[in-house]
Amino acid sequence: MTAPGISTFNGNPRATPPVTTPYRPGSNDFEGSALVDDPKYTPIPGQMPTSALLNTMGAELVTVGRMIPVFRASITHGTAPFINQFVAAPDAPTVYGSATTWVASTAYALNSFIVPQTSTGYYYKATAIAGSGTSGVTPGIFAGITTIGAPVIDNAGGNQITWTCWGPSTFSVYRVSAGKVQITWPANTLPTPVTAPTAYLNGVLTGAHTYGISATAITNGVEIDTLYDGTYTDEDFTVEVW
């Protein structure tokens, strides 16, 4: 009978008790890398996996698990920055590259996708537009609207937008101010960080200018600051969470 494999980056339902939060693999997940060959049915080297081989593989995977980022995303800057490339070690997290952060007093097209400035854990689709389809000035209109299919009326009146809760959005991107972007996610989405996040600028840097970038861990997220000639300026970047 085939035994289903698991990835601890998705938790471990076989643990006692089951672990539902993601974590990096440890030696206990490989029986302490202390397997022994059955003396009666000794495996044939080169044809069957031996305990030494399996123990080595377990030890190597634990080491590799400590060395890889669990989240990497490329961000396109602007007043509504968004994730255009994304990968994460857990299977469950989702991200919608076309969903931008909601901005006040902004015209939106029908079928646009947004995430609120303060994450609700969901993203929203513009399912109806009236007049110019311009957003209002109240970012908190999405608070508590987390039932898929539920409507949110934005800027009620002749130019209103009807947003519909469309689905869960694990990662949200928010421009705090020029050159400052925060990416956040719900608690227990990623394994506990083992070191500080890292970030680097995308594209070719030209001219006699100085550029800078830094990444700082925040609660359930990361903040990235980008500078141009010493001034906070929006720039495209890639961030890695370890």
pLDDT band at 228 (very low <50, low <70, confident <90, very high): very high
State both tokens at 76: 């396109």
Q: How many residues does the chain have?
A: 242
Q: What is the mean pLDDT of residues 125-144?
A: 95
* pLDDT at 142 > cutoff 80: yes
Task: Work out whether strand 113-115 and strand 99-101 pair parallel, antiparallel, or are unpaired.
Answer: parallel
pTM across the whole model: 0.71
Q: Which residue has the tokens 């938790």?
A: 11
Q: Tell me the three state secondary structure of residue 221.
A: strand
Q: What is the pLDDT of residues 78-105, one digit of tens each?
A: 877 877 788 888 776 665 555 778 999 9
152: exposed, middle or buried (Cβ count in 10 Å: 0-12, 13-18, 19+): middle
pLDDT at residue 94 in the model: 62
CA dist list (Å): 42 to 28, 37, 72, 200 = 24, 6, 44, 51
Tokens 């987390």, residue? 146
And the tokens for 175?
A: 């421009």
Digit-coded pLDDT (tens) for 36-95:
999 999 998 888 999 999 999 999 999 999 899 999 999 988 877 877 788 888 776 665
Between the ranges 70-79, 93-102, 152-161, 196-205, where is the mean pLDDT highest? 152-161
pLDDT band of 154, cuts 50, 70, 90: very high
Identify the three-state secondary structure at position 241: strand
3-state DSSP call for residue 218? Answer: strand
Measured between alpha carbons, how far is 74 from 184 in angstroms, rounded to an integer?
14
Residue 6, classified by CB atoms within 10 Å of its CB into exposed (0-12), middle (13-18) or buried (19+), is middle
Evaluate whether 122 touches 168 at the Cβ level (below 8 Å).
yes
**Cβ–Cβ < 8 Å for 88, 190:** yes
